[in-house]
Amino acid sequence: MVKRHDKGHDGKYHINGKKFDLLEGSRAQVWHGTAYKTPGGLTKGHLKMTRGRIVSVKKSNLARSQRHLKGHLQPKGSGVFGTVTKKGRKKGTKKRKGSRRR
């Protein structure tokens, strides 16, 4: 059975030799050391900062390996910046199917 985390005499949670004001908190609170874990169970070791956002390490690595944006980005070192339209596709308006009756 897992041991419960209890508050110490100073009103803080003592876990693995560290003190936390809250047991559960937001990702930011976990990142800054105010809370021990998020409601989903992520501790500070499970989080990382990417482009100013606090994200899950597992999810970030999974998304990195899946590369969903690969077809929309220019190759590295091409000297062109930003997203690209795919070849063979023309951007147009969507046509309505069928007739419209009242």
Residue 57 has pLDDT above 80, yes or no: yes
Residue 89: per-residue pLDDT: 61
Residue 30: per-residue pLDDT: 98
Phi-psi region of 84 (alpha: psi -120 to 50; beta: other; left: phi over 0): beta
- How many Cα neighbours within 13 Å face the side chain of 57? 8
Q: Say how many C-beta atoms besides its own lie within 10 A of residue 36's C-beta.
A: 21
Q: What gap in Å lies between CA 46 and CA 56, rounded to an integer? A: 6
Given pLDDT bands bounded at 50, 70 and 90, which one contains residue 90?
Answer: low
Residue 101: per-residue pLDDT: 78
End-to-end CA distance of the chain: 67
**pLDDT tens per residue, range 1-44:** 778 899 999 999 999 999 999 999 999 999 999 999 999 999 99
Output the six-digit token pair for 87. Answer: 């070849």
